[in-house]
Structure 1
Amino acid sequence: MADADPPELHAVLAELSTERVNDRYADLDLLSTRNLVSAMNAEDAGVAPAVAENTDAIATAVDAISERMLRGGRLIYIGAGTPGRLGVLDASEAPPTFGTDPDRIVGVIAGGRTALVTAVEGAEDDGAAGIRDVADLDVREGDSLVGISASGRTPYVLSAVAEARRRGAFTVGVACNAASDLGAAADVAIDVVVGPELLTGSTRLKAGTAQKMVLNMLSTLTMVRLGKTYGNLMVDLKASNEKLVARSERTVMLATGVDAATAARTLAAVGGSVKAAILVHLGDVTPETAVALLGEHDGFLRRALAEAAR
């Protein structure tokens, strides 16, 4: 930056790595298209290692969220702009993938549903709205709330996390700057420092990728802990379209070794439950018994299989 830049600008850039200028690409607009692609790919290559630096924090968050969800609590994502959209995306994919009730994993974005497709001016700066949105959800002890903000200091998100924590919820802060305000406000800080963006300040790039990776881990690994998988097979999916019907059949085939026709018949006999269909074959029980055993063991397939083997 030129010496004529105001001191406060220097202070912001020094504090927020997401806002710094990436000096390697000062001539970005002069590069060939192929070199532009290579440059962006090179920058993205650093995201996974930055996420890996937060392995312990992510694991701590997964265990805490899982424990609360086992007791009936919810996982709530809250953010503004791109982080908010990523949270809504992750939440919306849970029901078909893991068979969860839509109100168990919830995504909230500053400015409401309109903000999913259109920028809502000033929404991210409205701290009072963050408090109201948490109150409207009746967040309580037993819930887990994940605040997402690239800068780690978005007023809407900071206020929401503070209010959720005041109400006794477990809170996580996902940011892309070291020692972020959001991390300090939450029970667990996940500060994924990816450095300055290829395009200065465009945090939908590396920062957005990092946030998506973290949310993938929080939701997917929590579902593993809740018994939504058998090995690495998704066995609680809802077959709401032809693709998922076919996936359900393939999953039963992979887990049990039966053919497609048998898998389809068994799924029909258990109301489409992949877990129950697997239990019928691996546990050598009737469809009715399979469904009952899963109910007795809170949907944990391995526990039901152990019971069937007795």
Structure 2
Amino acid sequence: MSNVVTEHKIKLSALTGLALLAVSCSGNGDTEKANALLDEARQAYEAGNFANSLSLTDSIKNAYPKEIDVRREALHLATKATEGLTLQKLEQADSLSAVLAVRGDSLQRLIKFVKNPIEGYYTAATADPAKFFSTTGLQARVSPDGNFYLMSSLKAKSVKSTSIAVSAGGEEARTSTVAHDGERNDRSMGGEVITFIGAECDSVGHFISNHSSEPITLTFVGNSTYSMPLPEKQAQEIALLYDYATTLRRFKVASLEKERLSRAVDIARSQAARTFVEKDSI
């Protein structure tokens, strides 16, 4: 009986040893695989492929949750890759800001600032705001904070206009409707003057900017309609002001993005410092 028990214990011990060996081998396999991914992530980082490096470190975190030591190194590498990727984006934003600043300075030479008791505005240097209300057509303006707006003036006709449309080459753009209110839609002194602001006229500004070298038809829309060729001079002035407003808007966005990315770089550097682990201490 004792021999049988002893033999049974030996078999159990052997099976337990094999199981432990299997677990040990499996663990070593995961460590090797995790380290292989970490090496790939390092190579991607050194090559400046920070996005791929981040993807590989993320794979280590998801695929090998028990490989704590490797995950620590991967976390530190991920913070460095994040810093590198953010620096790349910061350089792009900085370059774009510089290009837009030069573009804005170039366009500003072609416009002028007109003082106004309510609020001053920019318009084309060739435009005459004082005479505009006695003519029929369009005039573009840009507010000091860079918002594009468009004014329409209709003389010697009465269509009770509430919007305008422009067309060229079989395409058309139209403003939003501005109801008659005696202010933004004014019909006093024998004329119809409407001020379209921001999104109300953005599509028209964009359309004229894209078609300024073509014949454009201007249509006043209200109780009836009245169409006429948009004077080439007005089309060129509108295109200029729309380009200027767009450049200012893009410059502001790029500047804000630079500020955001600069803060992100500082955060990434701080995280990299906190996650650094001496190799011998792992």
Q: Which has the higher strand share?
A: 2
Q: Look at both structures and tell me which one has the larger radius of gyration over its CA atoms.
A: 2
TM-score, normalising length from structure 2?
0.25
TM-score, normalising length from structure 1?
0.23
